Amino acid sequence: MSCAPLIDPFARPITYLRVSVTDRCDFRCTYCMAEHMQFLPKAELLTLEELERLAGAFIDLGVRKLRITGGEPLVRRNIMSLFRVMSGRLGNGLDELTVTTNGSQLSRFADELADCGVRRVNVSLDTLDPDKFAAITRWGRLPQVLGGIAAAKAAGMRVKINTVALKGFNEDELFPLLDWCAGEGHDLTFIEVMPMGEMGEEDRLDQYWPLSDLRARLAERFTLQPLAERSGGPARYVRIEETGQKIGFITPLTHNFCESCNRVRVTCTGELYMCLGQEDRADLRAPLRASADDGPLREAIRTAIARKPKGHDFDYSRGVAGKVSRHMSHTGG
Protein backbone atom coordinates (compact mmCIF):
# COMPACT_ATOMS: atom_id res chain seq x y z
CA MET A 1 0.00 0.00 0.00
CA SER A 2 1.09 3.58 -0.62
CA CYS A 3 1.46 5.50 2.62
CA ALA A 4 3.35 8.53 1.38
CA PRO A 5 2.26 11.58 3.39
CA LEU A 6 -0.64 13.76 2.29
CA ILE A 7 0.52 16.97 0.62
CA ASP A 8 -1.98 19.43 -0.80
CA PRO A 9 -1.53 21.46 -4.04
CA PHE A 10 0.08 24.31 -2.08
CA ALA A 11 2.77 22.06 -0.53
CA ARG A 12 1.04 21.98 2.86
CA PRO A 13 1.32 18.62 4.67
CA ILE A 14 -2.03 17.45 6.06
CA THR A 15 -1.26 16.28 9.59
CA TYR A 16 -4.41 17.19 11.53
CA LEU A 17 -7.84 15.55 11.22
CA ARG A 18 -11.02 16.68 12.91
CA VAL A 19 -13.72 14.01 12.95
CA SER A 20 -17.32 14.82 13.80
CA VAL A 21 -19.00 11.80 15.38
CA THR A 22 -22.51 13.29 15.55
CA ASP A 23 -24.42 16.37 14.43
CA ARG A 24 -26.52 16.19 17.60
CA CYS A 25 -25.99 18.36 20.65
CA ASP A 26 -27.62 18.81 24.03
CA PHE A 27 -27.34 22.61 23.64
CA ARG A 28 -28.85 24.91 21.01
CA CYS A 29 -26.38 27.82 21.01
CA THR A 30 -27.92 30.76 19.18
CA TYR A 31 -24.92 31.37 16.89
CA CYS A 32 -24.52 27.67 16.02
CA MET A 33 -27.93 26.18 15.29
CA ALA A 34 -31.63 26.80 15.23
CA GLU A 35 -33.62 25.87 18.32
CA HIS A 36 -35.62 23.21 16.47
CA MET A 37 -32.91 21.56 14.40
CA GLN A 38 -33.60 18.75 11.95
CA PHE A 39 -30.84 16.27 12.72
CA LEU A 40 -29.61 13.55 10.41
CA PRO A 41 -31.29 10.14 10.54
CA LYS A 42 -29.09 7.87 12.62
CA ALA A 43 -28.89 5.41 9.72
CA GLU A 44 -26.89 7.97 7.73
CA LEU A 45 -24.15 8.25 10.36
CA LEU A 46 -20.96 6.26 10.14
CA THR A 47 -20.80 3.52 12.73
CA LEU A 48 -18.12 3.81 15.40
CA GLU A 49 -16.27 0.95 13.70
CA GLU A 50 -16.34 2.86 10.41
CA LEU A 51 -15.08 5.99 12.16
CA GLU A 52 -12.21 3.91 13.60
CA ARG A 53 -11.29 2.63 10.13
CA LEU A 54 -11.51 6.06 8.58
CA ALA A 55 -9.38 7.73 11.24
CA GLY A 56 -6.89 4.88 11.03
CA ALA A 57 -6.55 5.39 7.26
CA PHE A 58 -5.72 9.06 7.80
CA ILE A 59 -3.15 8.18 10.46
CA ASP A 60 -1.56 5.72 8.02
CA LEU A 61 -1.31 8.64 5.58
CA GLY A 62 0.54 10.90 8.00
CA VAL A 63 -2.08 12.50 10.23
CA ARG A 64 -0.47 13.09 13.63
CA LYS A 65 -3.26 14.83 15.51
CA LEU A 66 -6.85 13.63 15.82
CA ARG A 67 -9.59 15.78 17.31
CA ILE A 68 -13.02 14.30 18.02
CA THR A 69 -15.82 16.86 17.54
CA GLY A 70 -19.56 17.16 16.95
CA GLY A 71 -22.23 18.41 17.53
CA GLU A 72 -21.45 17.40 21.07
CA PRO A 73 -19.27 14.30 20.68
CA LEU A 74 -19.79 12.99 24.20
CA VAL A 75 -23.54 12.53 23.67
CA ARG A 76 -22.93 9.79 21.09
CA ARG A 77 -23.74 6.37 22.50
CA ASN A 78 -20.65 4.26 23.33
CA ILE A 79 -18.33 7.04 22.17
CA MET A 80 -15.61 5.98 24.57
CA SER A 81 -15.07 2.82 22.51
CA LEU A 82 -13.75 5.08 19.72
CA PHE A 83 -11.41 6.85 22.13
CA ARG A 84 -10.14 3.52 23.45
CA VAL A 85 -9.32 2.25 19.96
CA MET A 86 -7.70 5.51 18.88
CA SER A 87 -5.63 5.63 22.07
CA GLY A 88 -3.91 2.51 20.75
CA ARG A 89 -2.50 4.60 17.90
CA LEU A 90 -0.81 7.08 20.25
CA GLY A 91 2.91 6.54 19.77
CA ASN A 92 2.03 4.42 16.74
CA GLY A 93 1.54 7.14 14.15
CA LEU A 94 -0.55 9.45 16.30
CA ASP A 95 0.98 12.16 18.49
CA GLU A 96 -2.17 13.63 19.99
CA LEU A 97 -5.77 12.57 20.64
CA THR A 98 -8.07 15.33 21.81
CA VAL A 99 -11.68 16.49 21.92
CA THR A 100 -13.77 19.65 21.61
CA THR A 101 -16.84 19.68 23.86
CA ASN A 102 -19.43 21.93 25.42
CA GLY A 103 -18.48 20.44 28.79
CA SER A 104 -21.92 19.11 29.67
CA GLN A 105 -20.76 15.48 29.82
CA LEU A 106 -17.21 16.01 31.07
CA SER A 107 -18.00 15.07 34.65
CA ARG A 108 -19.01 11.61 33.39
CA PHE A 109 -16.12 11.04 31.03
CA ALA A 110 -13.11 13.05 32.24
CA ASP A 111 -11.32 10.18 33.99
CA GLU A 112 -11.90 7.78 31.11
CA LEU A 113 -10.72 10.34 28.55
CA ALA A 114 -7.54 10.86 30.56
CA ASP A 115 -7.04 7.08 30.74
CA CYS A 116 -7.26 7.03 26.91
CA GLY A 117 -4.35 9.45 26.66
CA VAL A 118 -6.32 12.64 26.12
CA ARG A 119 -4.08 15.32 27.59
CA ARG A 120 -5.92 18.44 26.45
CA VAL A 121 -9.58 19.30 25.98
CA ASN A 122 -11.19 22.35 24.39
CA VAL A 123 -14.38 23.56 26.08
CA SER A 124 -16.74 26.10 24.53
CA LEU A 125 -17.77 28.70 27.12
CA ASP A 126 -19.03 32.17 26.19
CA THR A 127 -20.13 33.56 29.55
CA LEU A 128 -19.77 33.01 33.30
CA ASP A 129 -23.22 34.43 34.00
CA PRO A 130 -25.76 31.59 34.63
CA ASP A 131 -28.71 33.48 33.16
CA LYS A 132 -26.81 34.60 30.06
CA PHE A 133 -25.44 31.07 29.67
CA ALA A 134 -28.98 29.67 29.69
CA ALA A 135 -30.00 32.29 27.12
CA ILE A 136 -27.11 31.72 24.69
CA THR A 137 -27.20 27.90 24.90
CA ARG A 138 -31.01 27.74 25.21
CA TRP A 139 -30.81 24.33 26.93
CA GLY A 140 -27.56 24.51 28.90
CA ARG A 141 -26.84 24.90 32.63
CA LEU A 142 -23.65 26.68 33.64
CA PRO A 143 -22.99 24.74 36.90
CA GLN A 144 -23.00 21.48 34.93
CA VAL A 145 -20.36 22.81 32.55
CA LEU A 146 -18.19 24.33 35.28
CA GLY A 147 -18.35 20.99 37.10
CA GLY A 148 -17.19 19.24 33.94
CA ILE A 149 -14.30 21.64 33.50
CA ALA A 150 -13.27 21.05 37.11
CA ALA A 151 -13.44 17.28 36.54
CA ALA A 152 -11.20 17.56 33.48
CA LYS A 153 -8.69 19.60 35.44
CA ALA A 154 -8.78 17.11 38.32
CA ALA A 155 -8.16 14.26 35.86
CA GLY A 156 -4.95 15.98 34.79
CA MET A 157 -6.10 17.33 31.45
CA ARG A 158 -5.17 20.80 30.26
CA VAL A 159 -8.29 22.85 29.54
CA LYS A 160 -8.52 25.48 26.83
CA ILE A 161 -11.58 27.70 26.92
CA ASN A 162 -12.98 28.74 23.54
CA THR A 163 -15.09 31.91 23.74
CA VAL A 164 -17.05 33.26 20.80
CA ALA A 165 -16.93 37.07 20.82
CA LEU A 166 -20.51 38.34 20.58
CA LYS A 167 -21.32 42.03 20.38
CA GLY A 168 -23.76 43.15 23.02
CA PHE A 169 -23.58 39.79 24.79
CA ASN A 170 -20.20 39.14 26.38
CA GLU A 171 -18.27 42.34 25.68
CA ASP A 172 -18.59 43.25 29.36
CA GLU A 173 -17.14 39.87 30.41
CA LEU A 174 -13.80 40.22 28.66
CA PHE A 175 -11.82 40.86 31.83
CA PRO A 176 -13.85 38.60 34.19
CA LEU A 177 -13.29 35.70 31.76
CA LEU A 178 -9.61 36.53 31.59
CA ASP A 179 -9.32 36.67 35.38
CA TRP A 180 -11.24 33.40 35.84
CA CYS A 181 -9.03 31.55 33.34
CA ALA A 182 -5.91 32.94 35.03
CA GLY A 183 -7.12 31.76 38.42
CA GLU A 184 -7.99 28.29 37.12
CA GLY A 185 -4.88 27.89 34.96
CA HIS A 186 -6.84 27.57 31.71
CA ASP A 187 -5.74 28.86 28.33
CA LEU A 188 -8.23 31.13 26.57
CA THR A 189 -8.96 31.62 22.88
CA PHE A 190 -11.40 34.14 21.46
CA ILE A 191 -13.21 33.32 18.21
CA GLU A 192 -15.08 35.55 15.79
CA VAL A 193 -18.59 34.31 15.01
CA MET A 194 -18.53 32.32 11.75
CA PRO A 195 -21.14 32.51 8.96
CA MET A 196 -22.31 28.89 8.80
CA GLY A 197 -25.91 27.73 8.41
CA GLU A 198 -29.27 29.44 8.79
CA MET A 199 -30.07 30.67 12.30
CA GLY A 200 -33.70 31.65 11.87
CA GLU A 201 -34.23 34.95 13.65
CA GLU A 202 -30.59 35.42 14.64
CA ASP A 203 -28.52 37.80 12.51
CA ARG A 204 -24.77 37.21 12.72
CA LEU A 205 -23.94 40.64 11.37
CA ASP A 206 -25.56 42.00 14.54
CA GLN A 207 -23.59 39.50 16.65
CA TYR A 208 -20.22 40.20 15.01
CA TRP A 209 -17.61 41.65 17.39
CA PRO A 210 -14.26 41.97 15.56
CA LEU A 211 -11.34 40.67 17.58
CA SER A 212 -9.29 43.67 16.53
CA ASP A 213 -11.51 45.68 18.87
CA LEU A 214 -11.33 43.04 21.62
CA ARG A 215 -7.55 42.93 21.37
CA ALA A 216 -7.35 46.73 21.53
CA ARG A 217 -9.34 46.68 24.77
CA LEU A 218 -6.92 44.14 26.23
CA ALA A 219 -3.98 46.31 25.18
CA GLU A 220 -5.41 49.27 27.08
CA ARG A 221 -4.98 47.36 30.34
CA PHE A 222 -2.17 44.88 29.65
CA THR A 223 1.09 44.54 27.77
CA LEU A 224 0.56 42.04 24.93
CA GLN A 225 3.59 40.21 23.61
CA PRO A 226 2.93 38.52 20.23
CA LEU A 227 4.09 34.90 20.14
CA ALA A 228 5.61 33.26 17.09
CA GLU A 229 3.83 30.01 17.97
CA ARG A 230 2.09 28.34 15.01
CA SER A 231 0.21 25.06 14.94
CA GLY A 232 -0.80 25.23 11.29
CA GLY A 233 -4.16 26.34 12.61
CA PRO A 234 -6.12 29.56 12.73
CA ALA A 235 -5.13 30.86 16.15
CA ARG A 236 -2.63 33.64 16.67
CA TYR A 237 -1.30 33.99 20.20
CA VAL A 238 -0.10 36.68 22.57
CA ARG A 239 1.26 36.47 26.09
CA ILE A 240 0.00 38.91 28.70
CA GLU A 241 3.19 40.04 30.39
CA GLU A 242 1.47 41.02 33.65
CA THR A 243 -0.12 37.57 34.20
CA GLY A 244 1.84 35.21 31.96
CA GLN A 245 -1.37 34.05 30.30
CA LYS A 246 -1.40 32.85 26.70
CA ILE A 247 -4.38 34.22 24.77
CA GLY A 248 -5.41 33.05 21.31
CA PHE A 249 -7.36 34.87 18.60
CA ILE A 250 -9.17 33.09 15.78
CA THR A 251 -10.17 35.70 13.22
CA PRO A 252 -11.59 34.12 10.06
CA LEU A 253 -13.28 37.36 9.09
CA THR A 254 -10.62 39.99 9.71
CA HIS A 255 -7.46 37.96 9.09
CA ASN A 256 -6.94 35.19 6.58
CA PHE A 257 -5.06 32.38 8.33
CA CYS A 258 -5.05 29.84 5.52
CA GLU A 259 -1.44 30.00 4.38
CA SER A 260 -0.30 27.34 6.87
CA CYS A 261 -3.49 25.23 7.02
CA ASN A 262 -2.63 21.62 7.87
CA ARG A 263 -6.12 20.25 8.58
CA VAL A 264 -9.20 18.69 7.08
CA ARG A 265 -12.58 17.73 8.53
CA VAL A 266 -14.70 14.61 8.19
CA THR A 267 -18.40 14.74 9.02
CA CYS A 268 -20.35 12.10 10.86
CA THR A 269 -21.70 10.90 7.50
CA GLY A 270 -18.25 10.44 5.99
CA GLU A 271 -18.00 13.64 3.96
CA LEU A 272 -14.49 15.06 3.79
CA TYR A 273 -14.34 18.85 3.75
CA MET A 274 -10.95 20.09 2.62
CA CYS A 275 -11.78 23.62 3.85
CA LEU A 276 -14.18 24.75 6.56
CA GLY A 277 -15.16 27.82 4.55
CA GLN A 278 -15.80 26.12 1.19
CA GLU A 279 -18.60 23.84 -0.02
CA ASP A 280 -16.38 21.35 -1.89
CA ARG A 281 -16.39 17.92 -0.31
CA ALA A 282 -15.62 14.29 -1.04
CA ASP A 283 -17.64 11.21 -0.15
CA LEU A 284 -15.59 8.76 1.88
CA ARG A 285 -18.52 6.66 3.05
CA ALA A 286 -18.92 4.96 -0.34
CA PRO A 287 -15.32 3.67 -0.65
CA LEU A 288 -15.33 2.85 3.06
CA ARG A 289 -18.36 0.60 2.65
CA ALA A 290 -17.48 -0.74 -0.80
CA SER A 291 -14.42 -2.67 0.29
CA ALA A 292 -12.98 -4.25 3.41
CA ASP A 293 -9.59 -3.21 2.04
CA ASP A 294 -8.54 0.37 2.81
CA GLY A 295 -6.88 0.90 -0.57
CA PRO A 296 -9.90 2.54 -2.24
CA LEU A 297 -10.48 4.68 0.86
CA ARG A 298 -6.89 5.92 0.88
CA GLU A 299 -7.09 6.68 -2.83
CA ALA A 300 -10.30 8.68 -2.30
CA ILE A 301 -8.57 10.66 0.46
CA ARG A 302 -5.59 11.43 -1.78
CA THR A 303 -7.84 12.52 -4.66
CA ALA A 304 -9.73 14.86 -2.34
CA ILE A 305 -6.61 16.41 -0.83
CA ALA A 306 -5.47 17.23 -4.37
CA ARG A 307 -8.48 19.60 -4.49
CA LYS A 308 -7.79 21.39 -1.21
CA PRO A 309 -8.17 25.12 -1.89
CA LYS A 310 -5.73 27.83 -0.92
CA GLY A 311 -8.18 29.56 1.41
CA HIS A 312 -11.73 30.25 2.50
CA ASP A 313 -14.30 32.86 1.47
CA PHE A 314 -15.63 34.13 4.80
CA ASP A 315 -16.14 37.88 4.59
CA TYR A 316 -18.20 40.41 6.55
CA SER A 317 -16.36 43.44 5.18
CA ARG A 318 -19.08 44.26 2.63
CA GLY A 319 -21.86 44.03 5.24
CA VAL A 320 -22.92 40.64 3.93
CA ALA A 321 -21.94 37.21 5.20
CA GLY A 322 -20.03 35.24 2.60
CA LYS A 323 -21.32 32.14 4.30
CA VAL A 324 -21.63 28.43 3.70
CA SER A 325 -25.00 26.74 3.93
CA ARG A 326 -24.23 23.87 6.31
CA HIS A 327 -24.28 24.28 10.07
CA MET A 328 -21.06 24.11 12.08
CA SER A 329 -22.56 21.17 14.00
CA HIS A 330 -22.68 19.20 10.75
CA THR A 331 -19.09 19.82 9.73
CA GLY A 332 -17.58 19.53 13.19
CA GLY A 333 -16.45 22.34 15.48
Binding residues for GTP: 18, 67, 100, 160, 263-265
Q: Is 302 helix (H, G, I), strand (E, B) or coil?
A: helix
Binding residues for S-adenosyl-L-methionine: 31, 71, 124, 194
Task: Report all structural domains of the chain as residue ranges with CATH numbers, in order of start.
Answer: 17-331 (3.20.20.70)
CA–CA gap between residue 178 and residue 183 (Å, rounded)? 9
pLDDT value, residue 2: 53
pLDDT value, residue 87: 98
263 forms beta bridges with 16
pLDDT value, residue 313: 59
In single-letter form, the type of residue at position 85 comes to V
Q: Encode the chain (333 residues) as per-residue pLDDT tens digits.
A: 457 889 999 999 999 999 999 999 988 888 888 877 888 888 889 999 999 999 999 999 999 999 999 999 999 999 999 999 999 999 999 999 999 999 999 999 999 999 999 999 999 999 999 999 999 999 899 999 999 999 999 999 999 999 999 999 999 999 999 999 999 999 999 998 875 445 444 455 577 888 999 999 999 999 999 998 766 677 899 999 999 999 999 987 555 567 778 999 999 999 999 986 677 899 999 999 999 999 999 999 999 999 998 876 554 443 444 454 544 555 555
Binding residues: 18, 25, 29, 31-32, 67, 71, 100, 124, 160, 194, 258, 261, 263-265, 275
In single-letter form, the type of residue at position 326 comes to R
Binding residues for [4Fe-4S] cluster: 25, 29, 32, 258, 261, 275
- Per cent of the chain over pLDDT 90 is 70
Cα dist. 148→108, 172, 180, 236 in Å? 8, 24, 15, 27
pLDDT value, residue 282: 96
Task: State the DSSP string of 201-234.
Answer: T--HHHHB--HHHHHHHHHHHS-EEE-----SSS
CA–CA gap between residue 198 and residue 37 (Å, rounded)? 10
What b/e readout covers 214-243, taking b as 16+ CB neighbours within 10 angstroms?
A: bbeebeeebebeeeeeeebebbbbbbbeee
pLDDT value, residue 321: 45
147-205 pLDDT tens trace: 999 999 999 999 999 999 999 999 999 999 999 999 999 999 999 887 544 544 445 55
